[in-house]
A and B are shown apart, each in its own frame.
Chain A
Amino acid sequence: MPEPGVALEKLGFLTIGTFDGDDPGPGHEHLLAEIELAEQLGFDSVWLRHRHLQYGVSSPVTVLAAASQRTSRIEFGTAVTPLGWENPLRYAEDLGTLDVLSGGRMNPGVSVGPPMHWDDVKEALYPDTAEAEDFTYERVARLHRLLRGEPASTFAGTEGIESFSDHVQPHSPGLADRLWYGAASESSSRRAGEQGLNLLTSSVVRVAPDEEPDFAAIQARSIRAFRAAHPAGDAARVSQGLVVIPTDSATVEQRAKYEAYVEARTPRTSSPQGPGRLLFARDVLGTSEEIAEALYAHAGFREAREVVFALPFSFAHEDYVQILTDMATRLGPALGWSTPVRVRA
């Protein structure tokens, strides 16, 4: 658990991959360039958000398959794929193929529940089956079983000149153990632990009706509940994902833009929002030294040994280059993290 003197073990970053709806090419190319840069900087992992009907990556498997050919070491993940949009069997094939192409670097992160804007999208997404789709945890359990290679067909053998398997192909050993669940509450964290999944915590938690709206305290309790329920106990993997913006090498203009971004998002962090009582964490902005101090004071951070820092949504490519560079060269080391590249060298 990182506190001054205990090293942060893994450093990743999370991004949405913004693009211009009228000219999506440059945004996708910038994202690939950012992933290459991160590998050079020694990041342990890159994670993509998974958006639909927005100007962010809608097919992370496709983008990461491309990234697999421009990198050789950095791990990949999604944080998170809303599984309500996926058919677990088809998605298991995509994930298996990506994991084979990347040499075992994929970490699928998922969540469940009805898709966002469900009433607006259900006619196009599931015109004939919307009422019958199962959006419960069973959808995650199905994916987990399929990734483990459990039977998904009642036929195996040869027919004519072709052979058939009864489980998903390609099967990538180890992939099922790299499945993460994005939980926002203590109860869903506990359930992820019971299933033996890994846990992604983000910058959003769900506040129970009788709970004090203290983000860090809720996050820390969720992580402890997850580990208590997990077969691996304290060794179970948890990743924390706050929005973190180091300004060490930022220009005056960049710093002003970042401050305005954080300021616009701060009011929503003061109290639970909406009927779901979602509480947002404050974005952490400042020099690496200031950020490290804030993190060591954060109860949620102190429970994690790995982080996946989230990039802000709407910045320009050169801003992400500056932020990633400061994260890997200043903030990471300030938290005791050292790059695997350096370790290998």
Chain B
Amino acid sequence: MPTPGVPLEKLGFLTLGTYDAGDPGPGHEYLLEEIVLGEELGFDSVWLRHRHFQSGISSPVAMLAAASQRTSRIEFGTAVTPLGWENPLRYAEDLGTLDILSGGRMNPGLSVGPPIHWENVKGGLYPDTADVEDLTYTRVERLLSLLRGEPASTFSGVDGIESFSDYVQPHSLGLADRVWYGGGSRRSVRWAGEQGLAMLTSNVIQSEGHDLGDDASRVFEQIQREQIELFRSVHPLGDAARVSQGLVVIPTDTASADQKARYAAYVEHRTPRTAVAHGPRQMLYARDLVGTSDQIAEALYANAAFREVREVVWALPFTFEHADYVQILTDVATTLGPALGWAPS
């Protein structure tokens, strides 16, 4: 658990992969270049968000398959794929293929529940089956069973000149042990822990009735810490269970004056939402951390949830320029990471 003197073990970054909808090529190419830079800087992992109907990556598996040919070491992940959009059997084939192509570097991160804007998209997504799709944890359990190589067909053997398996091909050993769940409630992290999954905790969490008082940020940290503790208490591996924290972290050490101003404006614009709980599920947002690496390290060591984790996957802001991401990734790996005791791979 990182406290001054205990090193941070793993450092990754998370990005949306924004692009111009009228010309999507350059944004996809920038993302690949950022992943290559991430590997060169020694990051342990890169994680992609998974968006639909937005100008962000809609097929992380295809993107990461491309990235697998430009890198050789950095691990990959999704944070998170909303499984309501996926057929678990088809997705298990995609993930198995990607894991083979990348030499076992894939970490699928998942969540379930009805897709965002369900009423708007269900006609396009499931025109004939929307009312009978199972969008519960059962969908995750199906994927897990398929990744483990459990039977998916009642036929195996030779038919004509072709051979058939009764489980998903290609089967990539170890992939099923690298599944993460994006949990933000006591119920979801308990379920993930009971399933033996790894846990992704982000900058959004359900406040579940906590009194926010006059310092919502401290309350966020406290709730996140409690969820991490709950997850580990039910996980077969106990304290060794993997948890990754995913705050938005923006070091400014080598930023230009213009960059600093834009980053500050971005954070300022997003700060009011962190003071109150949102919507029927009482969602609470963490503050973005912007400042010098020293300032950020100090803030993290004071963060109750950060002190519970040994690995982080920091989120890049959504709407910055390629040059900004290069500066941020470089400062994270060369200044902020080392300030937290992390050593590049």
Pair A128/B134 contact, Cβ less than 8 Å: yes
A124 — nearest CB in chain B belongs to which residue? B152
- A169 to B20 alpha-carbon distance, docked (Å): 10
**What does the 1/0 interface line of A149-180 toward B look like (CB < 8 Å)?**
00111110000011111111111100000000
Cβ distance B203 to chain A, nearest Cβ, rounded Å: 13
Pair B21/A170 contact, Cβ less than 8 Å: yes
Cβ distance A181 to chain B, nearest Cβ, rounded Å: 21
Pair B318/A21 contact, Cβ less than 8 Å: no
Q: Tell me which residues from 94 to 126 in chain A have a Cβ below 8 Å from any Cβ of chain B.
A: 94, 96-98, 100-101, 103, 117, 119-121, 123-126
The answer to whether B314 has its CB under 8 Å from any CB of chain A is: no
* B153 CB contacts on chain A under 8 angstroms: 53, 117, 120-121, 124
Q: Tell me which residues from 22 to 80 in chain A have a Cβ below 8 Å from any Cβ of chain B.
A: 24-25, 28, 32, 51-59, 61-63, 65-66, 68-70
* B120 CB contacts on chain A under 8 angstroms: 153-155
**Given A53-B164, A53-B165, A98-B59: A153 in contact with B124 (beta carbons within 8 A):** yes
Pair B318/A97 contact, Cβ less than 8 Å: no
Pair A62/B94 contact, Cβ less than 8 Å: yes
Q: Tell me which residues from 155 to 213 in chain A have a Cβ below 8 Å from any Cβ of chain B.
A: 155, 161-172
Pair B55/A163 contact, Cβ less than 8 Å: yes
The answer to whether B345 has its CB under 8 Å from any CB of chain A is: no
Cβ distance B188 to chain A, nearest Cβ, rounded Å: 22
The answer to whether A89 has its CB under 8 Å from any CB of chain B is: yes
Of A129-137, A244-252, A317-325, A336-344, the one with at least 4 CB within 8 A of chain B? A129-137
Pair A153/B98 contact, Cβ less than 8 Å: no
* A10 CB contacts on chain B under 8 angstroms: none
Pair A164/B117 contact, Cβ less than 8 Å: yes
* A152 CB contacts on chain B under 8 angstroms: 53, 121, 123-125
The answer to whether B210 has its CB under 8 Å from any CB of chain A is: no
Q: Tell me which residues from 293 to 345 in chain A have a Cβ below 8 Å from any Cβ of chain B.
A: 313
Residue in A98, A119, A128, A170 with the greatest tally of chain B CB atoms within 10 Å? A170
Pair A170/B28 contact, Cβ less than 8 Å: yes
**What does the 1/0 interface line of B161-186 toward A look like (CB < 8 Å)?**
11111111111100000000000000
Cβ distance A36 to chain B, nearest Cβ, rounded Å: 11
The answer to whether B213 has its CB under 8 Å from any CB of chain A is: no
* B59 CB contacts on chain A under 8 angstroms: 61, 93-94, 96-98
Pair A25/B103 contact, Cβ less than 8 Å: yes
The answer to whether B289 has its CB under 8 Å from any CB of chain A is: no
Pair A53/B19 contact, Cβ less than 8 Å: no
The answer to whether A277 has its CB under 8 Å from any CB of chain B is: no
B145 — nearest CB in chain A belongs to which residue? A124
B162 — nearest CB in chain A belongs to which residue? A54
Pair B55/A89 contact, Cβ less than 8 Å: no
**Given A55-B169, A66-B69, A171-B21: A87 in contact with B164 (beta carbons within 8 A):** no
**Given A63-B97, A97-B28, A124-B152: A265 in contact with B162 (beta carbons within 8 A):** no
**Given A63-B65, A125-B87, A167-B53: A93 in contact with B58 (beta carbons within 8 A):** yes
Pair B165/A55 contact, Cβ less than 8 Å: yes
The answer to whether B57 has its CB under 8 Å from any CB of chain A is: yes
* B57 CB contacts on chain A under 8 angstroms: 97
**Given A93-B58, A93-B59, A162-B54: A132 in contact with B161 (beta carbons within 8 A):** no
The answer to whether A215 has its CB under 8 Å from any CB of chain B is: no
**What does the 1/0 interface line of B47-70 toward A look like (CB < 8 Å)?**
000011111111101110110111
The answer to whether A257 has its CB under 8 Å from any CB of chain B is: no
**Given A63-B97, A65-B65, A313-B162: A170 in contact with B58 (beta carbons within 8 A):** yes
The answer to whether B93 has its CB under 8 Å from any CB of chain A is: yes
* A19 CB contacts on chain B under 8 angstroms: 170
With beta carbons under 8 angstroms apart, the residue of A126, A133, A153, A172 that contacts B24 is A172
- A32 to B85 alpha-carbon distance, docked (Å): 29
Pair B165/A61 contact, Cβ less than 8 Å: no
* A263 CB contacts on chain B under 8 angstroms: none
**What does the 1/0 interface line of B79-109 toward A look like (CB < 8 Å)?**
0000001110110011011101101000000
- A96 to B58 alpha-carbon distance, docked (Å): 9
* B119 CB contacts on chain A under 8 angstroms: 154
* B89 CB contacts on chain A under 8 angstroms: 124-125
- A94 to B152 alpha-carbon distance, docked (Å): 23
The answer to whether A234 has its CB under 8 Å from any CB of chain B is: no
The answer to whether A214 has its CB under 8 Å from any CB of chain B is: no
* B169 CB contacts on chain A under 8 angstroms: 21, 24, 51-56, 58
- A123 to B50 alpha-carbon distance, docked (Å): 27
With beta carbons under 8 angstroms apart, the residue of B21, B151, B167, B318 that contacts A161 is B318
Pair A129/B132 contact, Cβ less than 8 Å: yes
* A103 CB contacts on chain B under 8 angstroms: 25
- A117 to B56 alpha-carbon distance, docked (Å): 37
Pair A94/B62 contact, Cβ less than 8 Å: yes
The answer to whether A289 has its CB under 8 Å from any CB of chain B is: no
**Given A93-B58, A169-B21: A66 in contact with B101 (beta carbons within 8 A):** yes
A-B contact pairs, 23 of them (CB 8 A): A21-B169, A21-B171, A53-B153, A55-B163, A56-B169, A59-B94, A62-B94, A63-B65, A63-B101, A66-B101, A87-B85, A89-B124, A90-B87, A93-B58, A97-B59, A117-B155, A124-B142, A125-B89, A152-B124, A155-B117, A155-B120, A161-B269, A163-B55
Q: Given A123-B154, A172-B24, 11 more contacts at CB 8 Å?
A: A58-B168, A61-B94, A63-B65, A66-B69, A94-B59, A120-B155, A125-B89, A153-B121, A163-B55, A168-B58, A171-B24
The 5 closest A-B pairs by CB, nearest first: A152-B124, A24-B170, A97-B59, A129-B129, A170-B24
Residue numbers of A with Cβ under 8 A of B are 19, 21, 24-25, 28, 32, 51-59, 61-63, 65-66, 68-70, 85-87, 89-90, 93-94, 96-98, 100-101, 103, 117, 119-121, 123-129, 132-134, 142, 146, 151-155, 161-172, 264-265, 313
